[in-house]
Structure 1
Amino acid sequence: MNQQLLTTALFVGVVLLTVGITFVASRQTKTAADFYSGGRGFSGFQNGLAIGGDYMSAASFLGISGAIALYGYDGFLYSIGFLVAWLVALLLVAEMLRNAGRYTMADQLAFRMRQRPVRTAASVSTVVVSIFYLLAQMVGAGVLVALLLGVDSGAVKNLVIVGVGALMIFYVTVGGMKGTTYVQIVKAVLLMAGSALIVFLVLLRYNFNLSALLGDAAEKSGAGDAFLEPGLQYGATLTSQIDFLSLGIALVLGTAGLPHILIRFYTVPTAKDARKSVLWAIGLIGAFYLMTLVLGFGAAALIDTDAAGATGNLASPLLAEEVGGGPGSLGGAILLALISAVAFATILAVVAGLTLASSSSVAHDLYKGVFKKDQPVTEKDEVRVAKLAAVAIGAVAIVLAIPAQQLNIAFLVALAFAVAASANLPAILFNMFWKRFNTRGACWSIYGGLIACVGLVIFSPVMSGAETSLFPNADFAWFPLNNPGIVSIPLGFLLGIVGTLSAREPSSERLYPELEVRALTGAGAEGAAQH
């Protein structure tokens, strides 16, 4: 009982800390610029921490460590994909997007194209990607709290999902970008410190001999040496090998199209700070993913992975309990509570970022740029619509997350990456690097990539036809791959090319040189932000 109280106290403490931060930030959120971009007042280092906090989600901490615990080498490939993806974001997107836009991804598209079609398309895509990503975080929250309370009740998990949804709506509507950013910074520090502690204790068990840890993990897994080699999860058939290739493409290309990551580039005052923030994020995220290697293999070696569930989502919290002294011990209870509280803070920070990205797009792009394009809109009205959109998006995420609880969190996030890479990335890259690119090309690439990706997921084993499917008792799967990226991403680029070449839009070509100068040099970017 005392352990339950301790666990609950730590958990509530983390939530109260984030709520307090949000209230403090709300006093500094007065304008639309404050709400959307934190007044562009964060340094490169602060934004790098916040990006890390945004990116190191429940998928990383719970899903990847769980995948490694279950599948060894193949699970670690998630970490590789997530990390390498940052090179694409750094080299092709971060600085140029910050120079060319103002608050949302659609700003840099609308600069030289017809406002209404591209803003509508970008907003729809942003909301869909965000909801996919939100599902993963909220499923993780349900799993965590059920573990801490020692119950396996579906009703409890459902209540937790509703509670997380309510909290994320609170963060966005009260704190805006400033509150969300500070929550993400605190969460990044807590996650790195908590992970480092568990990694230290795991390695201490093996006298810092990584080879002994890996050998023990392979032996306990039941798969032997195959646990440390490629192919345990994805190598059985040609279909599974293609599925892995599809997953890798989605992970590497998806980051540069994730809405909640893209809006972070608008929170810094200069392009130089945008570059710095990505470099800090790469260092932070790289160190974290190296730690997931020890967390995952440590879980395989030290705990019964059956207890982590079929998805492995509980591997890290149970490992913390084990290295703290084992189940029933005070040290085990403290570490379990600490790591679970950190994981919960992780979830809260990421869902806030996602909800902010999607609600900002609804207010700034749809409401102001499409519905009220020919009428004056006050900043107060725009922010009010963003807050209402946050409530609506939170409600949709809650409804969809409840039936998705049996899916692996990292896997759910990989689907969000596939949608982002299929719909958003082609339009962003073509707009910044192709003079001929036009409104039809942008709409075709966004809608085409989005419909293809989501459509293939619906008719894949993710939804039906397998024991692990969302609807295990139905079978309408005709697409064999779990991740559609290998088909939908090239299709998104191809449709952008075909749409562009099938229409002429002289105004788009005429404005390209100005966009190019602005994106590459930053000249005029600050002025554009004031229009």
Structure 2
Amino acid sequence: MTMISAQSGQVGSPLLNLAVFAGFVAITLYVVYRVSHRNTSTADYYAAGSTFTGSQNGVALTGDYLSAASFLGIAGAIAVHGYDGFLYSIGFLVAWLVALLLVAELVRNTGRFTMGDVLAYRMRQRPVRAAAATSTLVISFFYMLAQMAGAGGLVALLLDVHGKGGQALVICVVGLIMIFYVLVGGMKGTTWVQIIKATLLVLCVVLMTVFLLGKFGFSVSALLDEAAANNAKGEAVLVPGVQYGKTAITQLDFVSLSLALILGAAALPHVLMRFYTVPNAKQARRSVVWAIGCMAVFYLATLVIGYGASALVGSDRILSSTGKENSAAPLLAFEIGGTLLLGIVAAVAFATILAVVAGLTLTASASFAHDVYANIFRGGKADPRSEVKVARRTAVVVGVLAMIGGILANGQNVAFLVALAFAFAASANLSTLLYSLFWKRFNTTGTLWGMYCGLGSCLLLVFLSPVVSGAPTSIFASVDFHLFPLTNPGIVSIPISFLAGYLGTVLSKDQPDEALQKEMAVRALTGIGQ
């Protein structure tokens, strides 16, 4: 029976929704199996043999980047908080200019498989690769928390699963499917899943946007007026300040969030790893241009979808449903297109979560196998088959940890959780990447100081913030040991990272290898020596 109930949180027909999920999983598993026949070498498993074109990789980058945070979290944030929720869309999109102008081409020319290849190029291999692997694993874990939490809320809503136990089971099922993608498909299989998912996602939001505008006579003003009328905060959702303008602390929190979003994208390990799936730097640049174009369409559509959810569903009904803010897009789909459109949105949202988590798991496992096992334990002389075997085993461990973390974080807004991952990336990786690529004097001590101080300060501030305790939305809401008032630590931890990297370099007696520095500079700019 098709139904929608605010009390139960159920939307549409659970049987139909389950059929949609099963259909998508079956199709993508078949695709992964078909493209996975050559995954024995490290180049095949980590970088798909660098066989993708710039346009293909750009769409895959879109699929890797547009996570549950973008589709579920941002739509919900706009539906509930209005203008302040749209700030996530702006930050996530503008961030790609940093990647395009400063990172993409140079990273593609300098490394082979992981971020550690770039950072360790002219430094002491063992400590720098260990730091890069640590950073990658922590960032990937926080990013996966958001996806798993989104999976729990979404599938619980659509399959009418109640209680923490049922949602935990859903998260575990998602985790197991994702592990299978990575074990069987490697980078090639994961990339094709992301291409399928990105195409479906962009088409879905464009269709929803057109349907929504059609309901209001293609009048944006009429849509906004109805959104304000059906929101508990009224006209305030049309102007800045609902979420981040109440006090000086919330305003500072917004600045911190903006810094994390804009500076974090260029330092995300799973984004950096995508640049190795193309054959040269020109295709890496083209990848980013394609990604920016696809994402611009998507993020503009989130504005209409978010306010449309406020107008047709209402903020009270969204917050009272299973999944809270993350339920805005599915609830809206049911309102404007009934069970059929809901089924499509369900498939796209599920595809979003599976593809992103698979990409993150592959990145984390590749970093451990390549940076730690092959280059630290084996001194760069590991057999490719044994390295791939270690990567696959690591993927299983990472997947299990992601399931546990997702169960703990279930109920949090996924856009907010992803913003924390961006803060970790900007704090731990961005300073060391830029210093390595552009500062001749930068040395091993500066690399280690920058990464560990940025990562450590970010971890400490998050632990002592309202994210973990002291607020109704905290992970541990029943206790209060928070000392740091901001929910995003970027405004403090990012400068700490840059300062620590600088001080570690100028205060240490490490002398950079001048020959390697010159070699890296030539290679980064020209691609010679790849």
TM-score, normalised with respect to structure 2 = 0.96
Of 158, 163, 170 in structure 2, the residue corresponding to residue 148 of structure 1 is 158
Of 279, 301, 317 in structure 2, the residue corresponding to residue 307 of structure 1 is 317
Residue 503 of structure 1: how far off its partner (Å) = 1.6
SS in 2 for 1:158: helix
Q: Does 1:182 align with 2:195?
A: no
CA–CA distance in structure 1, aligned partners of residues 186 and 342 of structure 2: 31
CA–CA distance in structure 2, aligned partners of residues 358 and 522 of structure 1: 26
Given that 2:253 and 2:488 are in contact with CA atoms closer than 8 Å, whether structure 1 keeps it comes out as yes
For the aligned residues, what is the CA RMSD? 1.1
Aligned pairs for 1:270-309 (under 5 A) are: 270-309=280-319
Q: Does 1:370 align with 2:376?
A: yes
Residue 211 of structure 1: how far off its partner (Å) = 1.2
Residue 360 of structure 1: how far off its partner (Å) = 0.2
Percent identity reads 57
Match of 1:207 in 2: 217
Match of 2:467 in 1: 462
Of 218, 226, 231 in structure 2, the residue corresponding to residue 216 of structure 1 is 226
Of 342, 347, 367 in structure 2, the residue corresponding to residue 341 of structure 1 is 347
Given that 2:441 and 2:512 are in contact with CA atoms closer than 8 Å, whether structure 1 keeps it comes out as no
Amino acid at match of 2:256: S
For each residue in 1:327-346, what CA deviation from the matched residue of structure 2 results, as whole angstroms up to 9, or x when unmatched? Answer: xxxxx111111101110001
Residue 139 of structure 1: how far off its partner (Å) = 0.8
For each residue in 1:85-104, what CA deviation from the matched residue of structure 2 results, as whole angstroms up to 9, or x when unmatched? Answer: 00000000000000000000
CA–CA distance in structure 2, aligned partners of residues 437 and 58 of structure 1: 37
Which deviates the most, 139-148 or 478-487?
A: 139-148
Of 380, 383, 392 in structure 1, the residue corresponding to residue 385 of structure 2 is 380
Of 90, 94, 97 in structure 2, the residue corresponding to residue 84 of structure 1 is 94
CA–CA distance in structure 2, aligned partners of residues 459 and 312 of structure 1: 25
Q: Does 1:9 align with 2:19?
A: yes
Match of 1:322 in 2: 335
Residue 430 of structure 1: how far off its partner (Å) = 0.3
Residue 507 of structure 1: how far off its partner (Å) = 3.9
Residue 277 of structure 1: how far off its partner (Å) = 0.4
Residue 458 of structure 1: how far off its partner (Å) = 0.2
Amino acid at match of 1:481: L
SS in 1 for 2:230: helix
SS in 1 for 2:279: coil
For each residue in 1:229-268, what CA deviation from the matched residue of structure 2 results, as whole angstroms up to 9, or x when unmatched? Answer: 1100000000000000000000000000101100000000
For each residue in 1:466-524, what CA deviation from the matched residue of structure 2 results, as whole angstroms up to 9, or x when unmatched? Answer: 11111111111000000000000000000000111122333434321111111111122
Given that 2:231 and 2:316 are in contact with CA atoms closer than 8 Å, whether structure 1 keeps it comes out as no
CA–CA distance in structure 1, aligned partners of residues 297 and 54 of structure 2: 18
SS in 1 for 2:521: helix
CA–CA distance in structure 2, aligned partners of residues 279 and 49 of structure 1: 10
Match of 2:5 in 1: none
Residue 17 of structure 1: how far off its partner (Å) = 1.1
Match of 2:264 in 1: 254
Match of 1:19 in 2: 29
Unaligned runs of 5+ in 1: 325-331, 527-531
Of 367, 370, 377 in structure 2, the residue corresponding to residue 361 of structure 1 is 367
Match of 1:419 in 2: 424
Of 352, 358, 371 in structure 1, the residue corresponding to residue 358 of structure 2 is 352
Match of 1:101 in 2: 111
Q: Give aligned pairs, total.
A: 517
CA–CA distance in structure 2, aligned partners of residues 409 and 421 of structure 1: 19
Given that 2:40 and 2:388 are in contact with CA atoms closer than 8 Å, whether structure 1 keeps it comes out as no
Residue 291 of structure 1: how far off its partner (Å) = 0.4
